[in-house]
Copies of this chain bind each other. A is one copy, B any other.
Amino acid sequence: MNDRIEALRALMLSKGWDAVIVPGTDPHGSEYPALCWRQVEWLTGFTGEAADVVVTADDAGLWTDSRYFIQAREQLAGTGVSLHKTRVPEEIPIPEWLDRTLPEDAIVAYDSLCFGASSIGPLPERLSVVAVKDLLGAIWPDRPPIPQTPVFEVETGESSEEKIAWLRARLEDNGCDGCLVTALDEIAWLLNVRASDVEYNPYVISYLLVSTDRVKWFVLKDSVEDPQSGETFAGLEDQGVEILPYASVDEEVESFDGELYSGPDLIAPRKAVKNDFEIRSLREAHIREGVVMEKFLYWLEKSLDAGHRITEWDASVYLGKLRAEIGDYLGDSFETISAYGPGAALPHYRTPATNAPVIGETGLYLCDSGGQYMSGTTDITRTVPVGECTPQEREDYTLVLKSHIDLAMAVFPKGTPGCRIDALGREPLWKAHRNFGHGTGHGVGFLLGVHEGPQDIRQNLNPAPLEAGMVVSDEPGIYREGLFGVRHENLLLCVDDGQSEFGEWLRFEPLTLCHFDTAPVDFRLLERAEIKWLNAYNEKVFTTLAPLLPPEIASWLRGKTLSSAIV
């Protein structure tokens, strides 16, 4: 690691740069950058998702937030790179740190390829700033190539031509002549194409330039040799899409004749509202996944009852195997979190492939997983008892379920942003002086990212309203360091709930279908309406999934879903 930083310092010396900024984003602002763009990881060894690095002649620092403090400390040990905490009161952001550290006439170079998508603020005006495209290129000899996997068309209920026409109308509204789309999920959505270039996300690494009369797609063309890609490209060309080399985007943008749109994201809010086809597909995806989850939970319970030794990793592998048996499965939508006891206390726990902890005989096991299917993207968390639970485990389990239910039952006026109803999914925890440090809900794409905007349900005051057709997760939790963790997550579809003299109304409908285990529930902590919701949900899970399950699992599920308390 130190060699790489030293190589960078040698480059800095030869160029006369006093500092170099390497942002932790890729050119497309992706959640999961390809290996070739994991510059921070290559330079420092840190594998977390959100970190920026600054290197000077005698210092090197990595800026990241609380989700990664522990991981950063471990991974940076011995590298000479120090950790700078962000989103803490004492935070010193990169611009300020540079201002404090660098001499008057210093020169700062940054990697311009990725910087546009990063959130590093404006640099102090006194510094000379040099934008260098692909700054690490010169010192990263064995850099992996940009991935290119077979590109295929997908059915989404709306043709690419219709989407492009819609976008052009928006550009016209804004008095613009074109727009450059860099976000990979937006390109995939606009063109109805998918691939596997990015881990967990079915995207094609590319740029798209949409103007009044042309559509130019900048994509790695080597894959044209793959027959499926060739067919997809040909189909798009028939629709008038020009297919151009990925690397030519810069010169095309520079020579663009007209005004390019640069306002707030036009595509994300439209993409987030699923159409009828997508909603129908998603319902099917969730039924198939419900079958997988019930088979998984049945297997887990029976195997543990039989005294088998099962590690967190074993369980994760078994679940992956079941998921892969679904016909239209393309891959997971993120890395499965399979965690028993203390592991589950880390919301972003990474289940180790080797020496994974064994699932014990008491307490709670948590599994957070999701799939990419041709019929949609899923994300589900279930926490289940694997034996006796302590009173604290039962209480936390119940309060998290109560919170989950309260949010799922919410009814709210049209125009309400998620931040205004986040407290509904927290108040039962707050009343017991408990809380969790992540969002309650994130948007979910259709055969796209498992995290998508603009909507979310969290404490940040994001003004984007929830709209009928949007999908959000509902995933409150409680995490007891060193002990256990509880999280209950369904995906919810936001649906129209009619209108009254007081306005128009929205509510949620769970898409996810997998029972909540009522064994650890302390029913004294639930109100009547919550118990009613729970019983009705479990009943719906049973009636929907039982016909699709082997008889012994259907019968087991019957037992799991019988109403467990008199309402």
Tell me the A residues contacting B by CB distance below 8 Å.
409-413, 416-417, 419-424, 427, 430-431, 433-435, 459, 461, 463, 497-500, 502-503, 505, 527-529
Contact (Cβ within 8 A) A411 B435: no
Instruction: Kindly list chain B residues whose C-beta atoms are within 8 Å of the C-beta of A431.
Output: 409, 411
Instruction: Kindly list chain B residues whose C-beta atoms are within 8 Å of the C-beta of A412.
Output: 423, 427, 430
Contact (Cβ within 8 A) A424 B422: no
Q: Which 9 A-B pairs have the closest CB atoms?
A: A433-B500, A461-B461, A435-B502, A411-B430, A527-B527, A411-B431, A434-B502, A421-B423, A420-B423
Instruction: Kindly list chain B residues whose C-beta atoms are within 8 Å of the C-beta of A416.
Output: 423
A528→B528 CA distance, assembly (Å):
9
A420-B459 in contact given A412-B430, A435-B413, A527-B528 (Cβ < 8 Å): yes
Would you give 25 A-B contacts (Cβ < 8 Å), ordered by A? A410-B427, A411-B427, A411-B433, A412-B430, A413-B435, A416-B423, A417-B461, A419-B419, A419-B420, A419-B461, A420-B420, A420-B423, A420-B461, A421-B423, A423-B423, A423-B424, A424-B424, A430-B505, A433-B497, A433-B499, A433-B500, A434-B500, A434-B502, A527-B527, A527-B528
Contact (Cβ within 8 A) A498 B423: no
Within the complex, the shortest CB–CB distance from A460 to chain B, in Å, comes to 10
Within the complex, the shortest CB–CB distance from A62 to chain B, in Å, comes to 26
Instruction: Kindly list chain B residues whose C-beta atoms are within 8 Å of the C-beta of A430.
Output: 410-413, 505
Main SS class of interface, A: mixed
Within the complex, the shortest CB–CB distance from A482 to chain B, in Å, comes to 11
Instruction: Kindly list chain B residues whose C-beta atoms are within 8 Å of the C-beta of A498.
Output: 433
Q: Which of A413, A420, A433, A528 lies at the interface centre, i.e. has the most chain B CB atoms within 10 A of its CB?
A: A433
Instruction: Kindly list chain B residues whose C-beta atoms are within 8 Å of the C-beta of A427.
Output: 410-412, 424
Q: Which of A419, A427, A497, A499 lies at the interface centre, i.e. has the most chain B CB atoms within 10 A of its CB?
A: A427
What 11 additional pairs, Cβ within 8 angstroms, besides A420-B461, A434-B502?
A410-B427, A412-B427, A413-B430, A419-B419, A419-B420, A420-B423, A421-B423, A423-B423, A424-B424, A430-B505, A433-B500
Instruction: Kindly list chain B residues whose C-beta atoms are within 8 Å of the C-beta of A413.
Output: 430, 435
Instruction: Kindly list chain B residues whose C-beta atoms are within 8 Å of the C-beta of A411.
Output: 427, 430-431, 433
A461→B505 CA distance, assembly (Å):
20
A503-B423 in contact given A527-B528, A528-B527 (Cβ < 8 Å): no
Within the complex, the shortest CB–CB distance from A316 to chain B, in Å, comes to 28
A527→B461 CA distance, assembly (Å):
30
Instruction: Kindly list chain B residues whose C-beta atoms are within 8 Å of the C-beta of A461.
Output: 417, 419-420, 461, 463
What residue in chain B is nearest A530 (Cβ atoms)? B527
Instruction: Kindly list chain B residues whose C-beta atoms are within 8 Å of the C-beta of A463.
Output: 461
Instruction: Kindly list chain B residues whose C-beta atoms are within 8 Å of the C-beta of A459.
Output: 420
Within the complex, the shortest CB–CB distance from A376 to chain B, in Å, comes to 29
Instruction: Kindly list chain B residues whose C-beta atoms are within 8 Å of the C-beta of A417.
Output: 461
Instruction: Kindly list chain B residues whose C-beta atoms are within 8 Å of the C-beta of A419.
Output: 419-420, 461
Instruction: Kindly list chain B residues whose C-beta atoms are within 8 Å of the C-beta of A529.
Output: 527
Instruction: Kindly list chain B residues whose C-beta atoms are within 8 Å of the C-beta of A423.
Output: 412, 416, 420-421, 423-424
Q: Which of A434, A528, A529 lies at the interface centre, i.e. has the most chain B CB atoms within 10 A of its CB?
A: A434
A252→B421 CA distance, assembly (Å):
49
Q: Which of A412, A463, A499 lies at the interface centre, i.e. has the most chain B CB atoms within 10 A of its CB?
A: A412
Within the complex, the shortest CB–CB distance from A107 to chain B, in Å, comes to 28
Q: Could you say which of B409, B420, B435, B502 contacts A433, with CB atoms under 8 Å apart?
A: B502
Instruction: Kindly list chain B residues whose C-beta atoms are within 8 Å of the C-beta of A503.
Output: 435
What residue in chain B is nearest A421 (Cβ atoms)? B423
A535→B247 CA distance, assembly (Å):
72
Instruction: Kindly list chain B residues whose C-beta atoms are within 8 Å of the C-beta of A502.
Output: 433-435
What residue in chain B is nearest A497 (Cβ atoms)? B433
A503→B435 CA distance, assembly (Å):
8
A497→B435 CA distance, assembly (Å):
14
Q: Which of A431, A498, A503 lies at the interface centre, i.e. has the most chain B CB atoms within 10 A of its CB?
A: A431
Instruction: Kindly list chain B residues whose C-beta atoms are within 8 Å of the C-beta of A421.
Output: 423
Instruction: Kindly list chain B residues whose C-beta atoms are within 8 Å of the C-beta of A422.
Output: 420
